Amino acid sequence: MMIEFIPDWLIVFWNWFPVDIQTVLIILGKIVLILLPLLLSVAYVTYAERKVIGAMQVRIGPNRVGFFGFRLWGLGQPIADTLKLMMKEVVLPTKANKFLFLTAPVLSIAPALAAWAVIPFDRGMALTEINAGLLYVLALTSIGVYGVIIAGWASNSKYAMLSALRAGAQIVAYEIAMGFALVGVLMASGSLNLGDIVEAQAGGFENWFAWPLLPLFFVYFISGVAETNRAPFDVAEGESEIVAGFHVEYSGMAFAIFFLAEYANIILISALTSLMFLGGWLSPFENAAFAQGTFLAETSLLWFVGKISFFIFVFFWLRATFPRYRYDQIMRLGWKVFIPVTIVWLVVEAVMFVAKVGPWAV
Amino acid sequence: MLENYLPVLVFLAIGLMVGIGPIFLGGYLLAPHKPDAAKNSPFECGFEAFEDSRMKFDVRYYLVAILFIIFDLEIAFLFPWAIVLDEIGMFGLIAMGIFLGILVIGFVYEWKKGALEWE
């Protein structure tokens, strides 16, 4: 055990704490273990985005900022960006509602991070496995819209206000399609616990929910892109019309928090999509003959990270490929395409499920 | 049972701190603070703001919000139903079919009425 390497005085010090404090300290330790890699990934996802889109547009992307005189392909860029934003003034506009103005960024980052409390990274490797896991995630991702609306309203600026209205209506419309897609997953797995949902997809890639629920899979991921206000659904911050949208009045660290929240949400949506439709940490080759006895057949964190990275890449790919939707097209896609598609597929799935045919034949 | 939710509560508190901390640390300790009238005025492409920005807005945004509440409640009903569908079987399917049918009639009505049109 590791215990032997810990000096005696540390154990004495540890035992000196009451049991309740010890539990909280252990929880805090685990949270730090989740949060630090997460925040680091958020920082480097911004770098990856610039590199990937740069490559797609035959540019180089950031390649100057390195460490101690070495360029290292520009790997120092996110850190330099953060430091720069820290040194910039946080401007509080005179007409703004100051308290709400500063609350808004906090309201958008807190749920994007706190949702990770129930995400399982490997079999039994989650901060906490609660039975209402998916409900909790859905609730927290819904809170994100408050950050946008409050930011837009509290800024008391016309661009911010317009953007908040657009973003609010858009997020809310796509959330319905997202919710319906989740119902399909729940029906297939029979559980709200994210760990159980993944285990229900065991047995190689042919058992992943992505196949029987293919329409819901696409609807969920595309709604996820719309929820995070990413291109091609980024009318909320469409530069050419409303400058920067709801965060036009934000500067320095207050802006950086919005930026972090957007990328944390991208990672979260990617993680949820891979958990619910692509079997999370499960290996795609669990029963394949060639993989038996090698690491390829085992469940591991690496599969999960790989799947998340793939979806994050798709986010960048969409941004580099598609022009921005018009607002009426966005609303039409949400209300007139996604919602009917999900309702129809739910009915089809429920009938097949009760009749025990197709993928649900027991 | 309930102690499973303690980490969630702690994580929420930490999440709030990750938001509040940098804004105060970066915004008030490291960064300069030199406000002036022009800098603090709302951004309007260099013009003076000529009216209050808390203006009237299109009623369709309001309509979307109302529709959202109806559909979101619907989803709240569907969640527990989907989980226990295996146990309630045919009865559950028909009951939810009637419920969903009424909702779909409402959806078709609002579609035909043009509540979903944005020109």
Task: Report the Cα–Cα distance between both ends of chain B, in Å, rounded.
Answer: 52
Q: Looking at beta carbons, which residues of chain A come within 8 Å of B62? A: none
pLDDT score of A362: 59
Residue B107 has pLDDT above 80, yes or no: yes
pLDDT in tens, B9-48: 888 898 888 888 888 887 778 878 888 877 777 776 666 6
Residue A223 has pLDDT above 70, yes or no: yes
pLDDT score of A273: 92
Domain B2-113 is in which class? mainly alpha
Residue A274 tokens, joined: 């891979």
Beta-carbon-side half-sphere exposure of residue A8 (alpha carbons within 13 Å): 0
pLDDT score of A64: 82
Is residue A320 classed as helix, strand or coil in its secondary structure? helix
pLDDT in tens, A307-332: 999 999 999 999 889 888 888 888 88
pLDDT score of A359: 75
Confidence class for position A263, pLDDT limits 50, 70, 90: very high
pLDDT score of A217: 92
Residue A8 tokens, joined: 């005696």
User: What ranges do the domains of chain B cover?
Assistant: 2-113
pLDDT in tens, A88-131: 888 888 877 888 888 899 988 999 998 888 888 888 777 888 88
Check A91 against B40: CB less than 8 A apart.
Answer: yes
Confidence class for position A361, pLDDT limits 50, 70, 90: low
Residue A205 tokens, joined: 């890639």
**A78 upstream amide cis, omega within 30 of 0:** no
pLDDT score of B46: 66
pLDDT score of A2: 54
pLDDT in tens, B55-105: 777 788 888 888 888 888 888 888 888 888 888 888 888 988 898 899 889
Residue A267 has pLDDT above 90, yes or no: yes
Residue B32 tokens, joined: 């300069």
pLDDT score of A280: 82
Per the model's pLDDT, the better-predicted residue between A57 and B2 turns out to be A57
Q: Looking at beta carbons, which residues of chain B come within 8 Å of A168? A: 61, 65
Instruction: Name the percent of chain A lying above pLDDT 90.
Output: 14
Q: What is the Cα–Cα distance from B86 to A188, expressed in whole angstroms?
A: 10
Q: B69, exposed or middle or buried, with CB in 10 Å at 0-12, 13-18, 19+?
A: exposed
Distances (CA, A) of B35 to B40, B41, B107: 7, 10, 51
User: Phi first, then psi: what are they for B81, rounded to 5°?
Assistant: -60, -45
pLDDT score of A310: 93
Q: What is the Cα–Cα distance from A286 to A290, expressed in whole angstroms?
A: 10
Check B93 against A105: CB less than 8 A apart.
Answer: no
Q: What is the Cα–Cα distance from A285 to A172, expressed in whole angstroms?
A: 38
Q: How far is B103 from chain A (nearest CA, A)?
A: 10
Task: Report whether A236 contacts A229 (CB < 8 A).
Answer: yes
A262 to chain B, any CB pair closer than 8 A? The answer is no
**Which residue from A168, A145, A326 is spatially nearest to B60, judged by alpha carbons?**
A168
Q: What is the Cα–Cα distance from A324 to A231, expressed in whole angstroms?
A: 6
What are the beta bridge partners of residue A125? Answer: A122
Check B16 against A158: CB less than 8 A apart.
Answer: no
Q: Looking at beta carbons, which residues of chain A come within 8 Å of B66? A: none
Which residues are within 8 A (CB) of A279 and not within 5 positions of it... i.e. 6 or more apart? Answer: A198, A201, A202, A205, A207, A208, A209, A303
Q: What is the Cα–Cα distance from A185 to B83, expressed in whole angstroms?
A: 9
Residue B109 has pLDDT above 70, yes or no: yes
Map chain B to HEC letters: CHHHHHHHHHHHHHHHHHHHHHHHHHHHHHCCCCCCCCCCCCCCCCCCCCCCCCCCCCHHHHHHHHHHHHHHHHHHHHHHHHHHHHHHHHHHHHHHHHHHHHHHHHHHHHHHHCCCCCC
Confidence class for position A84, pLDDT limits 50, 70, 90: confident
Q: How far is A165 from chain B (nearest CA, A)?
A: 7
pLDDT in tens, A139-167: 888 888 888 889 888 888 888 888 888 88
Can you spell out the DSSP letters for A89-142? -----TTS-HHHHHHHHHHHHHHHHHGGGG--SBTTBSS---TTHHHHHHHHHH
Confidence class for position B49, pLDDT limits 50, 70, 90: low
Residue A51 has pLDDT above 60, yes or no: yes
Q: Looking at beta carbons, which residues of chain B come within 8 Å of A262? A: none
